[in-house]
Structure 1
Amino acid sequence: MWFLRSVVGKLWATILLLVSCVLFILTILLLKFFETYHVQEAEKELTQLAVRVSEVMQEHRDEALARSIAATLVGNTSKAIIVADKTHYWYLPASSQIRDLPISFVEEDQELRAVITKQKQVKKKTYLPSLQAKEDRYNEWLIVGVPVALNDGKHGAVFVYQSLNAVEDTTQQTKRLIFLAAFIAIVMTTVFAFFLSTRITAPLRKMRQAAFEVARGKFDTKVPILTHDEIGELAMAFNQMGRRLQFNINALNQEKEQLASILSSMADGVITFNRDGEILITNPPAERFLQAWYFEQGNESEAMAALPPQVKEQFARVVKEETRQVAEVTLQGRTWVILMTPLYNQTAVRGAVAMLRDMTEERRLDKLRKDFIANVSHELRTPIAMLQGYSEAIIDDIAATDEEKKEMAKVIYDESLRMGRLVNDLLDLARMEAGHITLNDEDVQLRPYIERVTRKFQGLAKEKQIDLSTEFRSEDLHINMDPDRIEQVLTNLIDNALRHTEENGMVKVVVEQTGEGVSIHVQDSGSGIPEEDLPFVFERFYKADKARTRGRSGTGLGLAIAKNIIEAHKGTIHAHSKLGEGTTFTFTLPLNETKGV
């Protein structure tokens, strides 16, 4: 059945069926025609023969000569009876008397007897019994009777008859010839139809193979152009379509790669949804957002289709109202702003696209700005209030003696110095964070340098009964650094250690060479820093214990400045502390910036 499902089979079957129908109708018509034609011709010939025999019998007075001539005319294919009356009749040829048309049949048949009695011409087909044992029991005969006027004035008749078996044999032979011709025509039609259908469909089969190749992605497949008819034009159009498809696919791939590159390089997340809210496209920032959501839910194995409830509600509003929606989502301490816009398919909404921006840093900077303003305001409010109060006291002559005026002036002077330090520290920190710090590097021998810096704090240490000491675990170390900036760092760390250490405590500066470079530790035995405050000690204005800095002019900027100075030297700084056990600040300068002597 596969053959009939193909174009070749259908075309071949159509041509063969059409030709077969035409040949069948033509064969039936020819058979009918020849069947009638032979009988009509036999009737016509027998009628003419009977008329000629009757004319011969009338024209010749010699009856014997007339019968002889009539016998010659009758020949061997036909037979005749010349009837004068019931007792005088003659068979032509004479040998047919015993086996063909009995005279009794002529006398008994009314139609044949009418030829003699009524002198009219008769044609009749009838079945006569065969007198030969080898033949059929009955044979069909064609009898033509013609009246004749004999010489003695009597009216007789001439009956010429012929067996229709000969006519039937001729008809059967004609049928065989017709059937043979029809069979040959069908065979030739079959061959021709198959050849024609194969010839026509060969380019179509090649085009089908090429179409399968194109469907598999081989857009450079070509169909050979064998003809210049419609099929050739179809092959040409197919090749043009393949080239156009290849061009469009390449253009789409380039656009896809460009879009993928743009999405991958975007700092903002992008999520595309279909009408049902299923995720179609994401980029790395959006995937991080989704992973944060799954991690927060404690189930990272779920499909990516799950979304936070806020996003689902936002998507539902976008699809329903067909307007842009903005929402803010907080996941794992990070803040995301989501801007979702509907996508249209001509007139209907087919989905939505969401832009996700991580606003954590902006929120943190905004908080730092607010905290910075609050801290600066707080740090400036106290000295300004004191300046204002003591200056008003001096103006209003509240101070009775010169000693009281000098004491008030001393307070005003100290607070102005404090404000100056705060302003200078803010300016230094702003320049450092902007990357405008300038280092004047020198080759510095560490032992005398560290001893000189710690010597400045010996008086304060003795006053507070604190043991301030140094320890050098590696001797003769030289380092390439900015001595003023590093001294600023050491001064801040040692000052903080002394301020946070109780009487009879200990502060030690340890210098050693490690695998990462030269490390300097400032250890104290103070009360320590709470663990939750350790990550923030290097931020501006951050004070773990603000009560301890009050009265000592602390601004909360020293550690932030120290961190920037160390990072400018490409080093690191960190703090280690436990409540009740003290604190250790360690900064390390790179080893490739150091050298020993």
Structure 2
Amino acid sequence: MKKREKYLNISSSFVKIIFFVMIIFILASIGLTITLYSFYGSYIEDRVKVTNKIIFGVNTGILCSMLITLVVVCPIVLYASRKMASPLVEMKKVAIAMSEGDFSVRAKDNYSGEMGQLAVTLNQMAAELSKTISSLTIEGDLLKQILNSMSDGLLGFDLAQQVNLKNTTFEKMFGNQSKLEELEDDLYEIMRTISLAAVENEKTEITTCSFKEKSILISGSPIRSEDNGIVGTVLLFRDVTEAVRLEQTRKDYVANVSHELRSPLTAVKGLIIPLKEGMVKDDEKRKHFYEIIYNEVERLNRLVNDLFELSRLQSRNTPFDMQIVDVSNILYDEQDKFEILVQEKNMRLVVKKSEKPIYAKGNIDRIGQVITILIDNALKFAKENSTITLSAKYENARAVVSIHNTGSIINEEDLALIFDRFYKVDKSHKEEGAGLGLSIAREVIARMNGNISVKSDGKNETCFSFDLEGVNLT
């Protein structure tokens, strides 16, 4: 049921106050007339009876007129008061709704005079406020989406060093911490220090810190108002772990290249000097020196060729010439190629026969190159009398090729790094090769849209596998 407005509420309308004052005035007049008559009635009756009658008649007429006026005027005044208060009450409702955030309410603007103008102005103000708040809400949501889509974490501080802004990237980077003070390694203190330094020096401050084995680059900049005053700071957090790792890899790469190039050159130089000085008189010894020099030059040539091959694979994005190849036939060809070498090392190289041909999409020469690298790697590390098994199969629409050998293991800490350039399981660098073969194999397989991996049980078995897009011709 709609609540009825109490228009007789004195505090709600100035007109109602006038109405009640008028009633009081009329009642006071009647009371004054009755009082005067009670005091002076007998006096007037004794002396001026005619005048008394006339005055009584006049008073009676006035009293009756007042009573008639009261009866007639009261409804009129009440109606006029209600008519004047109604638009004000309605606009009061609109103002209350606006104060509560509802800008959809509108007042009737069909009143005449100042009331109508006031209603129109109030409606226009509500429409403008609704439009402004809607625009601010959209801009706020857009800003929030932009901040949350940033790849860098963001944290805002006011001048009291209280956090007033934070995006989801920051929360993902450091965990959903309810209190930043609970961050480990005094990271919050580092943030506050950077923020204070940015305010004090009025410039961007940069530092690097560590958090859970990650390297985080922190950049703190002051926030300025329109009058160029500093009102706070904003800190950006970038995970530079990969960049630091790549920089270290680059340094290691340069160091390893230098080492691998220096080793054969040092050996050649050490042998050429006595030959040049005529210190080697024995022909057999001289021949032995020449053979060593030749082997070192060949080693250097292989290293340069491997470096060139790896660099060419990584710098060129053109795909290989791809065909549908029978992987099983490639495995048998590789078995024939390594037969003599395997016998010399007292090992066995077998191909696990598949029930049907295994077809894959790739480059036949490059697939053979990868298998050659993996077999050669197995021959270097497998022990005598061990077995190297080559196999191929279909798995999840992929052709999977495996080179499994017994008699060798790879430690768990080496598995993740085994395909890195120049990485060697033997840290003393005693085994042959420069550590580029597996890196080349990984690049070749990646260029054929495949993946390569390694598993080792840590006891006696190691298995290298790569997969290519399978083709079913049956």
Give the TM-score category using the shorter length. 0.7 to 0.9
CA contact (8 A) 2:161 2:192 kept: yes
Moved more, 571-580 or 249-258: 249-258
CA contact (8 A) 1:375 1:541 kept: yes
Unpaired stretches in structure 2, ≥5 consecutive residues: none
Partner of 2:384: 503
Partner of 2:218: 338
Q: Decide which of 429, 436, 456 is 1:577's aligned counterpart.
A: 456
CA contact (8 A) 1:511 1:519 kept: yes
CA contact (8 A) 1:528 1:582 kept: yes
Instruction: Tell me whether 1:376 sits opposite 2:257 in the alignment.
Output: yes
Residue type matched to 2:149 in 1? S
Aligned residues: 465
Give the alignment's TM-score, normalised by structure 1.
Answer: 0.68
Partner of 1:394: 275
How far off its partner does 1:492 sit? 1.0
Partner of 1:104: none
Partner of 2:436: 557
SS at match of 2:296: helix
How far off its partner does 1:493 sit? 0.7
Deviations 1:165-186 (A, max 9, x none): 7766655554454444445545
Q: Decide which of 398, 416, 439 is 1:517's aligned counterpart.
A: 398
Structure 2 counterparts to residues 288-327 of structure 1, below 5 A: 288-291=172-175, 294=177, 302=178, 306-307=182-183, 309-315=186-192, 318=195, 321-322=199-200, 323=202, 324-327=204-207
CA contact (8 A) 1:474 1:512 kept: no
Residue type matched to 1:465 in 2? N
Question: Highest CA radius of gyration, 1 or 2?
Answer: 1
Say if 1:34 and 1:546 are closer, same or farther in 2 by CA, change over 3 A.
same
Residue type matched to 2:251 in 1? K
Instruction: Tell me whether 1:355 sits opposite 2:271 in the alignment.
Output: no
CA contact (8 A) 2:354 2:392 kept: yes
Say if 1:474 and 1:518 are closer, same or farther in 2 by CA, change over 3 A.
farther
Say if 1:318 and 1:580 are closer, same or farther in 2 by CA, change over 3 A.
closer
Deviations 1:545-592 (A, max 9, x none): 234x5252x11121122122222222222111133312111112222x
Residue type matched to 2:329 in 1? P
Partner of 1:229: 113
Partner of 1:267: 151
Deviations 1:199-235 (A, max 9, x none): 2232223323334554565545443322342222222
SS at match of 1:207: helix
Partner of 2:335: 454
How far off its partner does 1:407 sit? 3.3
CA contact (8 A) 1:473 1:513 kept: no
Say if 1:555 and 1:245 are closer, same or farther in 2 by CA, change over 3 A.
same
CA contact (8 A) 1:524 1:582 kept: yes
CA contact (8 A) 1:12 1:194 kept: no
- Percent of pairs with identical residues: 26
- Tell me the distance in 2 between the aligned counterparts of 1:9 and 1:215: 20
- Tell me the distance in 1 between the aligned counterparts of 2:160 and 2:52: 85
- Tell me the distance in 2 between the aligned counterparts of 1:401 and 1:570: 56
- Tell me the distance in 1 between the aligned counterparts of 2:424 and 2:8: 89
Give the alignment's TM-score, normalised by structure 2.
Answer: 0.84
Q: RMSD across aligned C-alpha pairs, in angstroms?
A: 3.6
Residue type matched to 1:14 in 2? I
Partner of 1:128: none
- Tell me the distance in 2 between the aligned counterparts of 1:232 and 1:305: 58
Residue type matched to 1:557 in 2? L
Say if 1:233 and 1:408 are closer, same or farther in 2 by CA, change over 3 A.
farther
SS at match of 1:566: helix
- Tell me the distance in 1 between the aligned counterparts of 2:96 and 2:406: 83
CA contact (8 A) 2:334 2:372 kept: yes
Residue type matched to 2:154 in 1? V
How far off its partner does 1:496 sit? 0.9
Q: Decide which of 236, 253, 269 is 2:137's aligned counterpart.
A: 253
SS at match of 1:238: helix
How far off its partner does 1:504 sit? 2.0
Residue type matched to 2:447 in 1? A
Moved more, 474-483 or 21-30: 21-30
Deviations 1:517-540 (A, max 9, x none): 222221222230111211111122
Q: Decide which of 533, 537, 547 is 2:414's aligned counterpart.
A: 533
Residue type matched to 2:195 in 1? V
Deviations 1:272-291 (A, max 9, x none): 34566555443331120231
- Tell me the distance in 1 between the aligned counterparts of 2:473 and 2:231: 71
Q: Decide which of 75, 90, 110 is 1:206's aligned counterpart.
A: 90
Residue type matched to 1:450 in 2? L
CA contact (8 A) 1:272 1:281 kept: yes
Instruction: Tell me whether 1:493 sits opposite 2:374 in the alignment.
Output: yes
- Tell me the distance in 2 between the aligned counterparts of 1:317 and 1:375: 38
How far off its partner does 1:252 sit? 1.9
CA contact (8 A) 2:393 2:399 kept: yes
CA contact (8 A) 2:10 2:16 kept: no
SS at match of 2:467: strand
Partner of 1:64: none
Partner of 2:472: 595
Instruction: Tell me whether 1:542 sits opposite 2:426 in the alignment.
Output: no
Say if 1:231 and 1:283 are closer, same or farther in 2 by CA, change over 3 A.
same
CA contact (8 A) 2:418 2:424 kept: yes
Moved more, 167-176 or 562-571: 167-176
How far off its partner does 1:495 sit? 0.7
